[in-house]
Copies of this chain bind each other. A is one copy, B any other.
Amino acid sequence: MRHLLGIGDLSRDQIERLLDRADSLAQLLERENKKLPTLSGRTIVSLFFENSTRTSSSFDLAAKRLSADTVSIRAQGSSVTKGESLRDTVQTLSAYGPAAIVVRSPFVGAPGMVTRWTDAAVINAGDGKHEHPTQALLDAYTLRNRLGSLDGKNVWIIGDVLHSRVARSNILALTKLGARVTVCGPPTLIPREIEALGCSVSYTLEGSNEADVLYVLRMQNERMAAGDNFIPSVGEYAKRFQINGERLGARQLLMHPGPVNRGVELSPDVVDAPQSLITEQVAAGVVVRMAVFYELLAGRGEPEGGQKRATAVAPMPDGATR
């Protein structure tokens, strides 16, 4: 493994190796001093073209616990989100010789493009509607901790599957690990031919009581705005698809990538129910991201200068002046 661009690129063995690494790191983290010297003197750059507090702070803390130096570049809504500028930004940052670049972008495939312009390992922290591989890994890690193995387990992914990179990465990861996955939501929010990913489709919650796990997606705010045609109304959506105390079985596990819209996709009571793994998911985020850094970087030499060829430098996120 040289980069982590998507779950689609990984074999079952590679996924399990990452989860095993997370397991062994979790044991080390049980002591009070959570710092490991693994990446001391190496630099992790994070380049976020979309707003994020959770994912970025989780990556940041993972890097720090491995003793890496971190450089954070934020560029929301700036011109660097487009083609040439992304390249120039990456080439500039690569000149610092980073061991890894963590990229979040609204554009599908942006992290893959970044690999062409740097010798650093590239980690996809979410690209458009495509993939969010570390989220799927932390979800798989959380489930495996509870269930032992995912083989033959029945997982329902419920909500706005159409716009969700989390759904996509999770379908890929869970099926590779042997689970049976059903995606569920109104037809307007289920992509056509999603079955090609190896999952089943249901347009109602009927049958979800057979599931071992209900994985509920966040309803994006723009979906709930007046004039959006994907759902008739928030109330109507909740009536048909909200997971509440009646719909959540006593032995079913509940997951959600956060942040929750209480009263929309989940009723307030189930969020804190004993079946909920939501906080465990967040905690898993740090150790799984440590595992990703570890697998990509530990024992791998870092190129000096970091650039692939003598290349150029152009606009930085905020139109910085020299």
Contacts and interface: CB of A to CB of B under 8 A. Distances in A.
| Chain A interface residue number, banded | 35 or more
B276 A310 contact: yes
Given A278-B313, A279-B95, A42 B51 contact: no
Interface string A73-117: 100000000001000100110111100000000000000000000
B53 A73 contact: yes
B279 A54 contact: no
Dominant SS among interface residues on chain A: loop
Nearest to A307: B279
B97 A256 contact: no
Contact of A40 (B35, B42, B322): B35
Interface stretch (A61-69, A232-240, A241-249): A61-69
Contacts of A322: 54-55, 126, 132, 135, 166, 218, 257-259
A33 interface: yes
A257 B92 CA distance: 11
Interface in A177-207: none
A34 interface: yes
Nearest to A31: B41
Contact of A319 (B51, B262, B301): B51
Interface stretch (A12-20, A148-156, A280-288): A280-288
A206 B301 CA distance: 47
Contacts of A71: 57, 60-61
The 5 A-B residue pairs with the shortest CB-CB distance in the complex, in nearest-first order:
A33-B41, A271-B312, A35-B41, A95-B282, A258-B313
25 contacts: A34-B69, A41-B65, A51-B318, A51-B321, A53-B73, A53-B316, A55-B320, A88-B259, A88-B260, A92-B259, A92-B282, A95-B283, A97-B283, A126-B322, A132-B322, A258-B313, A258-B314, A259-B319, A272-B312, A277-B310, A278-B312, A278-B313, A279-B305, A280-B305, A280-B310
Given A258-B313, A260-B314, A276-B310, 9 more contacts: A32-B302, A34-B42, A256-B313, A258-B322, A260-B315, A271-B312, A272-B311, A277-B310, A279-B305
